[in-house]
């Protein structure tokens, strides 16, 4: 198990690295990047379901259930936003008569 300060250090390093990587991505690649982040949210959902499966007490089960609900909403919302963004790039030749 990871100790508290080690976990905090890894979290801060991941946040800094993520900020530096994402800030250098060209604007044209933001949509594929968002789709990739939706994939990561799917992993968070799986982790929440595993945590819920190992929960013993009622409090742990409640927190796990809330985690699953929030992760599901985050993943589904990300896919909906990505779909709307991809609709913006489609040509309007077929719709305008």
Q: Quick one: average pLDDT of 16-26?
A: 87
Read off the pLDDT band of 30 (50, 70, 90). confident
| DSSP character at residue 94 | T
Domain coordinates of the chain in residue numbers? Answer: 29-88
pLDDT tens, residue by residue, 50-88: 999 999 999 999 999 999 999 999 888 888 888 887 788
Helices 30-53 and 58-88 pack at an angle, to 10 degrees, of: 160
Q: Quick one: average pLDDT of 34-45?
A: 81
How many C-beta neighbours within 10 Å does residue 94 have?
A: 7
Name which residue leads in pLDDT, 96 or 46: 46
pLDDT at 96 over 60: no
């Amino acid at each position: 198990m990871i100790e508290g300060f080690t976990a905090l250090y890894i979290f801060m390093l991941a946040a800094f690295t993520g900020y530096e990587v994402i800030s250098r991505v060209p604007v044209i690649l933001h949509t594929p990047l968002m789709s990739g982040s939706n994939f990561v949210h799917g992993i968070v959902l799986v982790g929440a379901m595993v945590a819920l499966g190992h929960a013993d007490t009622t409090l742990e089960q409640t927190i796990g259930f809330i985690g699953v609900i929030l992760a599901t909403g985050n993943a589904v919302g990300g896919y909906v936003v990505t779909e709307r963004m991809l609709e913006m790039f489609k040509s309007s030749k077929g719709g305008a008569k």
